[in-house]
Amino acid sequence: MVERLLHWFEKHGRDLPWRHKRDPYAILVSEVMLQQTQAARVAPRYVAWLERWPTVEALAYASLGDVLREWQGLGYNRRAVNLHRAAREVVANGWPDDLTALPGVGRYTADAVACFAFGQDVLPQDVNVRRVLERTDASFDHTCGQALMDLGATICLARVPRCCECPLAEECPSRGQRFEPLRKQGRFEGSFRQRRGAALRALLDGVDPGDDEAVAALARDGLLPSLPG
């Protein structure tokens, strides 16, 4: 199955800008951006981000206000705050052995940086990888990480997998099955999350957002310091 998977990946793998990087900072940026945003939206923003802050030192010395402005449109601004804090910690202390010690870095993100930047023998398991592993009941090593991600994102879909196009279908015990939809996230339109985003944009533009509740929530999440920078 590994051989089939990697052969498929050679022909059908997505050409994403972070896959041409080995710098741990560049990998960390991509993984944080991808946490809750689709790859197609992330790609151009990722390129622009690295053009502006090409090194971890450059990001560490940037102001939080500039970081949040650059992040606008990607959503979940707390990710930008954590990425900024992580950059400062790396510049101050170096890359930790346990990457989960960095702000906003969970098990998957730590494994992705360890695998794709440092070449460690660990398989990062995002939702797409876990789906393929669960459905195939097969074992794959760290060399299959990117291939499993692409297979889960484009073929082994959450509800109606494209088994007829899957290189692993012949030996897959889940072949031909359909699956219940996962719980969907609440609507963004009219949500408090939307109000928070609008309030942050107003503050970044130097305008009173007129929403004390949203501003208080931003303050609790550490999104207000150094905004004028």
Catalytic residue among 3, 10, 31, 170: 31
Cα three-residue angle 228-200-48, rounded to 5 degrees:
75
Q: Are 75 and 198 in contact (CB under 8 A)?
A: no
Task: Give DSSP secondary structure letters for 142-204.
Answer: GGGHHHHHHHHHHTS-SSS--GGG-TTGGG-TTTT---PPPPPPPPSTTSHHHHHHHHHHHHH
Annotated catalytic residue 134: no
The two three-digit tokens of residue 169, written as one number: 């279908």
Spatial neighbors of 143 by CB under 8 A, at least 6 apart, are 2, 6
Sign of the CA dihedral 102, 106, 107, 113?
negative
List, by residue number, the catalytic residues. Answer: 31
